Structure 1
Amino acid sequence: MSTPYSGATPAGGQAGYAPPADPAAQQNYASDYTENTAHSGAMGTPMTAAGNPDIEGISVGTLIGEVTKDLSTLMRQELELAKVEMKAEAKKAGQGAGMFGAAGFAGYMVALFLSLALMWALASAIPTGWSALIVAILWGIVGAVAFVMGRKKFQQVNPKPERTVDTLSEVPGALKPN
């Protein structure tokens, strides 16, 4: 049986619901929800033979109380479900960040060993000290270019959220009667 909470659409996924190729791989966030999720209203609405709610003899206040309790329970459950989903997605994001860190370290090692290979290749034509100096100067140029480009990007950053400030300044006017 499928529920609206039986799984999340992956980022960049399809626009509609498409069952996963492997049903065992589907994440069920609702199964992670462990709080007691019994109905908040103890009354339960009896049904007529025709399948309609039988509300004869029940006061409007009682019905509104049941609806209020059910809405309150629904909101708490939705909030808890959102927490469970966010926790699962944060875990995936953390794992992805760890993989990016490993990739960065691997890239550093590649650059290091390519630099050493270039140094030893140059050392076959000139003294080793001079070849190491040439490789260091090349890395200095790369670092200087990266610094200049990074500084330009930081100069373009505006720490003030302009659009938010504009829209927030319009809120008091929107609340006043025209």
Structure 2
Amino acid sequence: MAMSGTPHQTNRLTVPGAANAAIPLVTEPDVDRSASMGSLVKQATEHMSTLVRSEIELAKMEVTASVKSGVRGGIFFGLAAAIGVFSLFFFFFMIGEILAIWLPRSLAFAIVFIVMVLAAGALAFLGWRKVKQIKKPEQTIASLTETASTLKYAATHTPETATQGAVQPTTLPRR
């Protein structure tokens, strides 16, 4: 980030890589020494508001540049995956042709087909086992049940007695 200008002037904070990205900043505000406390608080509030808005704008510009770069990278990965998937057809065809050197052509391609079906079946079985291992979110369910019972209890009792008999929150173990 670079700042340009001289003191007592509005500077521009620039973000490298962001097109037309500049945030106006004031290096040293002009302060009236005889100003009342109220006007000083007002000025401080305005300066704080400007600072917060500038920080938010800076964050937006930086995130936007990063997101654009990430999207471009994702597109290249997607294209590479598509080309790789389509290339598999030629790879398996090549294996069939190589096997056809020693075996009848139909038998060579049948072997390639059977190996591919077995590999797909094995991968599907492994995926099914992993999906079966997914468990319900027990801590979240317990927390929501506790919250619901506390809210039901609070809704049926007066504000003075609602906290006396309410279900006390429990500490859930962390993973």
Q: Same fold (TM over 0.5)?
A: yes
Report the Cα distance in structure 2 between the residues aligned to 1:126 and 1:106, rounded to whole angstroms: 30
| Helix, strand or coil at the partner of 2:30 | coil
Percentage identity across aligned positions?
Answer: 24
Matches within 5 A, 1:1-178: 2=2, 27-29=16-18, 32-33=20-21, 37=24, 44-45=30-31, 55=33, 57-158=34-135, 160=137, 162=139
Query: Which is bigger in relative contact order (C-alpha 8 A, separation at least 6)?
Result: 1
What is the deviation of 1:105? 2.2
Which amino acid in 1 is paired with 2:21?
Y
Structure with bigger strand share is: 2
Let me know the Cα RMSD of the aligned residues: 3.4
Report the Cα distance in structure 2 between the residues aligned to 1:127 and 1:96, rounded to whole angstroms: 45
Unaligned runs of 5+ in 2: 4-12, 148-167, 170-175
Q: Is the 8 A contact 1:33 1:80 kept in 2?
A: no
- Name the TM-score, length of structure 1 as normaliser: 0.61
Question: Would the alpha carbon gap of residues 60 and 2 (structure 1) be closer, same or farther in structure 2, given more than 3 Å must change?
Answer: same
| Helix, strand or coil at the partner of 2:2 | coil
Unaligned runs of 5+ in 1: 8-26, 47-54, 174-178
Question: Would the alpha carbon gap of residues 70 and 155 (structure 1) be closer, same or farther in structure 2, given more than 3 Å must change?
Answer: farther
Larger radius of gyration: 2
| Helix, strand or coil at the partner of 2:103 | coil
Summarize deviations over 1:84-133 as a string: whole Å, max 9, x none: 22211111111111111122123224322221111011112222222112
Q: May I ask how many residue pairs the two structures share in their alignment?
A: 136
- Name the TM-score, length of structure 2 as normaliser: 0.61
